[in-house]
Structure 1
Amino acid sequence: MASPRESLLHEKRLETHLVDMPDYVIEYVRSKKRAKYSASTLLGYVHEYMKFFNWLQHEGISGVDCIKDTPLSILENLTKKNAEFYKEYLEEEIISVENDVKKKRSENAVARNINAIKSLFNYLTTETENEETGECYFYRNVFSKIKVHKKDEDSANRRAKKISSVILNNQEINEFLQYLRSGYEYSLSPRQRNAFLRDKERDISIISMMLGSGARVSEVASLTIKDINFHKRQMDIIRKGGKADTVEVLVSSLDDLKDYLRIREVRYPGAKDTSYVFVSKYGGSAKPISVRAIQDFVTKYTLAFNSQEEFSTGQALSPHKFRHTFASEWIKNGGNLILLRDQLGHNSIETTEKYTNLSSVESKKVMSDIENARNVDSKS
């Protein structure tokens, strides 16, 4: 989910692109907006439709000069072979060349494109209504016959190992936050230090809120003042798809938030005129911070933190790794899996269950240590 500022930008871009789309695509987008699809999601869909309609035009299938004029009959009468050729085109097109290496779309990128088109065809064949006949625009959905495959998922055990290799444990969390509070600034030039000190409390608070709640970066970026309940130690957030939710927050994270709020209007003139909690100086005034800005400083800080030891190349973490970190600590401390699902806002328990395998990996290590200790004892 995008931040408030990014959502507005995506909304504007979406409306700009819709001008070049057929009327039935515009109708589809309006319908999905009413169904609470985000502007960011729909903008992604429209980008995929532009590829599709341009391909129809290039191949001489649509026979129109402008994709806006593509008639419904072209989609209705598209053959399965046509659809298969389009999928092959997506798979084989060279999308970039770097150091003489040609790069094609990933399986997941192809799947996203085809699934976006399937969504449009499903709408046209099941949700529309002709004003004269009361029937759907057409019923032949050729893309329902096209199968796509995403890259095979890792095993649960492998996912757990991958997650555990890029998360912080409790001690590392404390060390990282302490590093930002009293160590990081001394590695900077005077100019860099001044910029960091201006944003220090804000950045620490954002990181602490993610580590202390498991919230997504977009959910934290979208927080408003009224969303925070310090007494109940909770915050209201907007999940993917626009669903409102309430989650718990660690007291230590709320304390970091209070430290930021005390200096918010001093450091960011005009902040009192916006309800968004986390702001940045933009164009001479305070604006809601963007998701990209948070991602950038998390990368910068974690890379610096992990590069402190001699000969260390360091490793940057993303805000999503903070979400993994919170979930891991929840399970380690005996947290209930159902409650974790609700805290993270997962749609299914299967998504949340990957974190139980972190405990499984640790259990295997414990068993291995016991085995090794017994072997040593038996030989002595």
Structure 2
Amino acid sequence: MALTPDELQVLQRIEHQLKDMPYYVVEYIRSKKRAGLSADTLLQYLYQYQHFFQWLLREGLTDAIDTSSFSYTVLAKLKKQDVEMYLEYLQKESIPHENEAVKKRGQAVVALSVNALKSLFNYLTKETEDEDGESYFYRNVMSKIVLHTKKETASRRAQKISSVILNEHEINDFLQFIDQEYEITLTSGLALQRFNRDKDRDLAILSLFLGSGIRLGEMVRMLVKKVNLKKQMIDIKRKGSKEDTVRVMDQAFHHFREYIEIREAMYTGSKEVPFLFVTLYGGSARPLSRRAIENLVTKYTGAFAQGELHEPSQTTTQFCG
């Protein structure tokens, strides 16, 4: 299956990160990639390993001179107290942010680091094999690490869920706003020109989000050849490389079909692009990126929210979660 520019970029970043990783981490990444773990997840895990190894170097818990020469024997000998000290460091470390601001890591990032390390240690202690047919080591200190997270009550979860779900009436109002009223909010001639060019595409994207349950990553990877207009079906690739077929609801299919009909005429060179949703860059069609789709969702929901009760970030969560 063809890869989007975003996916190619992620794979390139993975290869770049692997240059500074010890051989057993490279083995781990290759193994999990074959098993279907997403490239996005693997890249995030590599960032966590780099940070962890750098901390071990600074703390003098290894004799290695850099992360690439990091022996797995260091991991085998780590104490539970060492790992707990690292997690405490993660929670307290100050992270530079925009406008020279400083912030702390959220609980989700700490949990990501723990999950990344647990996955690596499980691999090293259960799935590896040395010349004698034995795992690289057997003492898994990460199995002793339990991350306590704050639990929400059922009513709190329900409140959060209901705050981001649009009912049928609101969906109709939202799409009608884009179709008939959004251009009134534009003050630039160039912005109006681009909106008129992309209107059918954007309505198709938003309708699919709302009428099919397709998620952002699946939207980006959608292929023209996988669309069956007659049956109103689309073959998509789910998380973990799982193939699935989605039926497009009638309301969403109306906008979807209109985009298909004008795609090649409106976006020069789009016939040569296998991915369904495209944009013009330098006068030629190229696949629409994840960031571009996120931006257009934020743009429209933000404008719609100006006269509605919904907060832009809430509506965006419903589409791109």
Q: Please classify the TM superposition score into its range, dividing by the shorter chain length.
A: over 0.9
Match of 2:186 in 1: 188
Q: How many Å apart are 1:284 and its aligned residue?
A: 3.6
Deviation by residue 1:208-242 (Cα, 9 ceiling, x = unmatched) = 11111011122122111122222322211111111
Q: 2-side partners of 1:240 and 1:97: how far apart?
A: 30
Tell me, yes or no, if structure 1 residue 210 matches structure 2 residue 209.
yes
How many angstroms does 1:101 deviate by? 7.3
* TM-score of the aligned structures, taking structure 2 as reference length: 0.93
List gaps (5 residues or longer) in structure 2.
none
Deviations 1:72-96 (A, max 9, x none): 1111111222112111111211123
Query: SS of the residue aligned with 2:36?
Result: coil
CA distance in 2, matches of 1:83, 1:183: 55
Separation in 1 of the partners of 2:99 and 2:43?
31
**Residue in structure 2 matched with residue 242 of structure 1 by the alignment:** 241
Secondary structure at 1:237's aligned position in 2? Answer: strand
Match in the other structure for 1:273: 272
Correspondence for 1:254: 253
Which one-letter code corresponds to 1:297 in the other structure? L
Residue 60 of structure 2: aligned partner: 60
Query: Taking structure 1 as the reference length, what is the TM-score of the superposition?
Result: 0.79
**Percentage of matched positions with identical amino acids:** 47
Deviation at 1:320, TM superposition (A): 4.1
AA aligned opposite 2:262: I
Query: Compared with structure 1, are the counterparts of its residues 276 and 100 closer, same or farther at alpha carbon in structure 2 (3 Å cutoff)?
Result: closer
- Give per-residue Cα distances to partners, 1:87-140, cap 9 Å, x unaligned: 111121112368997522122211110110111111000000112x11001101
Any idea what SS the aligned residue of 1:242 has? coil
Partner residue of 1:32?
32
Instruction: Name the structure 2 match of 1:224.
Output: 223
CA distance in 1, matches of 2:202, 2:317: 16
CA distance in 2, matches of 1:13, 1:72: 23
Q: Secondary structure at the match of 2:21?
A: coil
Using the alignment, how far apart are the partners of 2:30 and 2:240 within structure 1?
15
Who is 2:73 aligned against? 73
Question: How many pairs are equivalent?
Answer: 318
For the residues of structure 2 that align with 1:7 and 1:100, how far apart are their CA atoms?
Answer: 31
Within the candidate set 294, 300, 318, 1:321 is matched to 318
Structure 1 residues 15 and 157 mapped into 2: Cα distance closer, same or farther (>3 Å)? same
Unaligned stretches of 5+ in structure 1? 325-380
Amino acid across the alignment from 2:150: K
Note if contact 2:301-2:316 (Cα within 8 Å) is conserved in structure 1.
no
**Structure 2 residue aligned with 1:161:** 159
Match of 1:328 in 2: none
Match of 2:175 among 177, 183, 208: 177
Report if aligned partners of 2:164, 2:317 keep a CA contact under 8 Å in 1.
no
Q: Which moved more, 1:226-235 or 1:99-108?
A: 99-108
Residue in structure 2 matched with residue 341 of structure 1 by the alignment: none
Q: Distance in 1 between matches of 2:114 and 2:269?
A: 45
Q: 1:125 to 1:314 in 2, by over 3 A?
A: closer
Listed as ranges, the matches of 1:1-380 within 5 Å are 4-96=4-96, 102-131=102-131, 133-152=132-151, 154-189=152-187, 190-308=189-307, 315-322=312-319
Distance 1:120 1:232 in 2: 44
Letter in 2 for 1:105: R
2:234 touches 2:245 (CA, 8 Å); kept in 1?
yes
Amino acid aligned to 2:56: L
Deviations 1:328-361 (A, max 9, x none): xxxxxxxxxxxxxxxxxxxxxxxxxxxxxxxxxx
> Which structure has the larger Rg?
1
Secondary structure of 2:169's aligned partner: helix
Give, as a single letter, the amino acid of the residue that structure 2 aligns with 1:307: Q
Is the contact between residue 306 and residue 316 of structure 1 (CA under 8 Å) also seen in structure 2?
no
AA aligned to 1:163 is I
Could you report, residue by residue, the CA deviation over 1:228-276 in whole angstroms, capped at 9, with x for unpaired residues? 2223222111111111111221122122111111211122111000121
User: What RMSD over aligned residues (CA atoms) do the two structures have, in Å?
Assistant: 2.1
**Conservation of the 8 A alpha-carbon contact between 1:300 and 1:316:** no
User: Structure 2 vs 1, CA of residues 228 and 156 (structure 1 numbering), >3 Å: closer, same or farther?
Assistant: farther
Encode CA deviations 1:17-59: one digit per residue, 9 max, x unaligned. 1011000000000000110111111000000000011011111
Residues 63 and 37 (structure 1), Cα distance of their counterparts in 2 relative to 1, 3 Å cut = same
Q: Is the 8 A contact 1:219 1:238 kept in 2?
A: yes
Counterpart residue number, 1:340: none
Residue pair 2:212, 2:249 contacting (<8 A) in 1 also? yes
CA contact (8 A) 2:294 2:320 kept: no
